[in-house]
Amino acid sequence: MTKKLLTMASTLALVAGAAFADDKPKIGAAVYGLNAEFMQIWAQALQNHPAVKQGLVDVTVFDGKYDALTQQDQFETMITQGFDAIIFVPIDIEAGAAAVDAAAAANIPVFGSNTRVNSDKLAAYVGSDDVQSGYMEAKYVLDKIGCKGNVVIIEGPVGQSAQIQRLEGNKKALAECPDVKVLEDQTANWSRAEAQTLMENWLTAHPGEINGIIGQNDEMALGAIEAVKAAGLDPKSFAIAGIDGVTDALHAVKDGNMASILQDGAAQAQGALDLAIAAVLPDYKPMSEIWTAYPDMPWADGKAKEYSVPWTPVTADNVDALLAARQ
Amino acid sequence: MERNEQTTAGPRLTAGAIAQKYGILIALALACVTLTFISENFLTTRNILNVLRQTSINGVLAIGMTFVILTRGIDLSVGSLVALTGVVASSFATTATTGFIPGAPWPALLAIAIGLVVGMACGGVSGTIVARFRVPAFVATLGMLSAARGLTLLYSGGRPIPALSEGFRWIGTGSLFGVPVPIFVLLGTFAVAHFVLTQTRFGRHVYAVGGNPHAAKVSGLPVNGIRFAVYVISGGLAGLAGIILAARTGSALPQAGIAYELDAIAAVVIGGTSLAGGIGRVSGTLIGALLIGVMNNGLDLLGVESYYQQVIKGVLIVAAVMMDRSKNKQD
């Protein structure tokens, strides 16, 4: 009995001790939602960051469940629990601003990653320029069809920042090819199944007329490929491009059916984490290998406001390495 | 249903009565004729096959939903079950997972069977909660909607399951005599469901339980068993739809099927089945699903923005229920 009590007491003391002695910086990551592959890769990259693996900091990821209010509540939680820094991937460019304000008022630095938020209180932002990727994918399609013929654009949900910026990039490239006609231009809400239906109907509406397919993400480009196959046509006879570099798209690039532009979510996550740690630990040197992998994105002592992670076109040359990294 | 046929038969078969009885069929015919005139590509073999194939998933879900709604129930979980059964079945159908024979994938039929069983099991859980524990169907299946989506994400780790075997993909992309397989699946499901509802004792019991549960109980029908069974049917058909979807897109996506339950309910309601139970038929549901499919297809062919499609679908649903109400009042 006495022994049992002693064990209990010492266990309690240990637990209490752990709670008090743990003065490791606590960093919270509030992401818009974890249901899709891209954010899974992003979140996994945080846990794989050397500083986390060596136990330098504690990282907690909060799933925003695609709801602005949920994210706001999670900010409140992090503020009351005394987190030292926050990494923020907002669902909505406007609605996230109030959450950033609240954290800034509590003197907790907030670092944006992947998706922008309309706030001047962000300590820094690590992301990739969607206008550029929109330009790159459209340019690939237009080059492949020789700057003439007809294309269709499958857009993301109208009004989302990635849709707006990728469309701007698409149009920039299209302006360089005035002979190319955009036959159709509609949203499939980032969804493979929706894009498949849309493309099936477009192939019916414009038989033999479509030369290029610009999908604003990989999922929708993959849906278009399935529609092309279902119509008994060869995807290789079309110019098809998408953005993000999800695993299925890497396989499709390998098969020669499409082009994709890799958005390095892992680098966006690890870059933001390095910045967050540097804000908390004054002598910290960045530990992620991304800073050597991307010489175009200098660390700048962690003092810059904007870090732009370069896009990587997925080609037959690098696709095997990229696929291997996904295992 | 039987009542309607009696009141509209014989000399009382006026134009108004015809419009009410065949309203949905007339609407479908009108939509097809109009589209044929304004889009040269509508009435082509390939496009008709496209519409049917695009309708197959919603059609299969809606047929299952008809059974549930006939008993005064509702199944909100089918969209999530599409995703869950899709990822579970697909995990046994990738070219990487090996089955009994080393180096060869699992036989596609086994993967399909696993998907169907998972769907039926989830339907069985909902059915038990509704029939045995008297939880309202709305609440029980709302719970299943959330739980099944969570299980889908847990099972798949939030990532798609790619590289499905050729055999498995055949059910979504293959053809027989030039007609895509999903269309056969839809028509086969319809034929079986129609037979069960009109020619079997179980079918009559489904109508009886929905028409007057108290009377059904008093006359000794196994009311609980029938309530349980309709959710198993709906879950199993959700599994079938999930398998078709994964096979069609070539990859099982954990975020697939979101809000599919709403389109399925819409098809049932447009097809004239009463949410009050006991009245309706599966042929109406099929026509309702086809009307939604034709509309989406036609508006795409005409280059109409997808947002209009949602508005038009909303108007259709309400119009169908209003017609249903005036019909019942007449009785």
User: Which pLDDT tens digit goes with each residue over B62-91?
Assistant: 999 999 999 999 999 999 999 999 999 998
Q: Does B157 touch chain A (CB under 8 A)?
A: yes
Q: Cβ distance A118 to A131 under 8 Å?
A: no
Of A34, A200, A226, the CB nearest to B50: A200
List of chain A residues whose C-beta atoms are within 8 Å of the C-beta of residue B153: 34-35
Give the nearest partner residue to B159 out of A40, A193, A200, using CB atoms.
A40
Res B6: pLDDT: 43
A247/B159 CB distance under 8 A: yes
Q: In the prediction, which pLDDT does B329 show?
A: 58
**Per-residue burial over B111-145, b = 16 or more CB atoms within 10 Å of its CB, e = otherwise:** bbebbbbbbbebbbbbbbbbbeeebebeebbbbbb
Kindly state whether residues A82 and A46 are assigned to the same domain: yes
Largest separation between any pair of C-alpha atoms in chain B: 70
Closest by Cα among B252, B258, B251 to B86: B252
Task: Report CB contact under 8 Å: A222, B249.
Answer: yes
Of A35, A201, A248, the CB nearest to B153: A35
Residue at A1 is within a domain: no
Any idea what the CATH number is for the domain that residue A109 is in? 3.40.50.2300
Of B159, B249, B306, the CB nearest to A192: B249
Contact, B251 vs A222, CB < 8 A? yes
Q: Please name the residue that has the structure tokens 């499901």.
A: B189
Q: Is the interface score ipTM higher than 0.85?
A: no
Residues A108 and A187 in one domain: no
Distance of CA A189 to the CA centre of its chain: 16
Q: How close does chain B come to A251, measured CA to CA in Å?
A: 9
Contacts of A37 in chain B (CB under 8 A): 158-160
Identify whether B143 is part of a domain.
Answer: yes
Task: Let me know if residue A43 belongs to a domain.
Answer: yes
Domain that holds residue A203: 130-262
Chain B CB contacts of A196 below 8 Å: 248-249
CB contact at 8 A, B39 and B297: no
Judged by a CB distance cut-off of 8 A, whether residue B50 touches chain A is yes
Provide the pLDDT for residue B2.
43
∠ CA B216-B219-B222, nearest 5°, is 60
Query: What is the distance in angstroms between the Cα of A195 and the nearest Cα belonging to chain B?
Result: 10
Is B49 domain-assigned? no
- Listed range (B31-40, B90-99, B289-298) with the worst mean pLDDT: B90-99
- Does any CB of chain B come closer than 8 Å to the CB of residue A58? no
Residues A205 and A84 in one domain: no
Residues of B in contact with A229 (CB under 8 A): 173
pLDDT confidence of residue B17:
66
Cβ separation B249–A223 shorter than 8 A? yes
Rg, C-alpha atoms of chain B? 20
The model's pLDDT over A207-240, given as tens digits with 9 standing for 90+, comes to 999 999 999 999 999 999 999 999 999 999 999 9
pLDDT tens string A309-320: 999 999 888 999
- Which of B251, B253, B306 has its CB closest to that of A187? B306
Give the residue, B185 or B21, on which the prediction is more confident.
B185
Q: How far is CA A210 from CA A183, A203, B167, in A?
A: 8, 7, 30
Q: Average pLDDT in the B23-48 region?
A: 87
Instruction: Using the predicted structure, report yes or no on whether residue B1 has a pLDDT greater than 60.
Output: no
Of the given ranges (B109-113, B131-135, B284-288, B315-319), which has the lowest mean pLDDT? Answer: B315-319
In a domain, B34, yes or no: no
Is the distance from CB of A226 to CB of B162 less than 8 angstroms? no
Nearest Cα residue in chain A from B304: A186
Chain A within 8 Å of B253 (Cβ-Cβ)? yes
**Rounded mean pLDDT, B242-264:** 90
Both tokens assigned to B135 = 């939880």
A37·B160 Cβ contact <8 A: yes
Answer yes or no: is pLDDT of B95 > 70.
yes
Q: Are residues A137 and A248 in the same domain?
A: yes
| pLDDT tens profile B192-235 | 999 999 999 999 999 999 999 999 999 999 999 999 999 999 99
A239-290: per-residue pLDDT in tens? 999 999 998 999 999 999 999 999 999 999 999 999 999 999 988 999 999 9
User: Which pLDDT value is given to residue A326?
Assistant: 78
Q: How confident is the model at residue B7 (pLDDT cuts 50, 70, 90)?
A: very low
Judged by a CB distance cut-off of 8 A, whether residue A7 touches chain B is no
What does R_g of chain A's alpha carbons equal in angstroms? 23
**A143-152, B130-139, B159-168: least confidently modelled range:** B159-168
The predicted pLDDT at position A17 comes to: 43
The reply to whether A287 and A202 lie within a common domain is no
pLDDT of amino acid A22: 61
The answer to the question of residue A186 being in a domain is: yes
Q: Is the pLDDT of residue B137 over 70?
A: yes
Residues A113 and A138 in one domain: no
Residues A281 and A226 reside in one and the same domain: no
* pLDDT value, residue A81: 87
| Residue B281 covered by a domain | no
Cβ-based contacts of A204 with chain B (< 8 Å): 41, 44, 46-47, 50, 301
B257: β partners: none
- Claim to verify: residue A197 and residue A243 sit in the same structural domain: yes
Q: How confident is the model at residue A18 (pLDDT cuts 50, 70, 90)?
A: very low
Per the structure, how many domains does chain B have? 1
Tokens at residue A49, please?
């960051």
Mean model confidence pLDDT for chain A:
89
Q: Is residue B309 part of a domain?
A: no
Question: Is A158 a domain residue?
Answer: yes
Q: Does A101 touch chain B (CB under 8 A)?
A: no
Residue B46 and residue A204: Cβ atoms within 8 Å? yes
Tally of domains in chain A = 2
What does the pLDDT read at residue A98? Answer: 85
The residue range of the domain holding B167 is 54-257
Average model confidence (pLDDT) across chain B:
87
Q: How far is residue A259's CA from residue A244's CA, in Å, rounded to a whole number?
A: 11
- Asked, for residue A15, whether it belongs to a domain, the answer is no
Is the same domain home to A173 and A290? no
B305 is a domain residue: no
Is there a domain that residue A293 lies in?
yes
Asked if residue A159 and residue A122 are part of one domain, the reply reads no
Residue A6 domain-assigned (yes or no)? no
Residue A7: band (very low, low, confident or very high) from pLDDT cuts 50, 70, 90: low
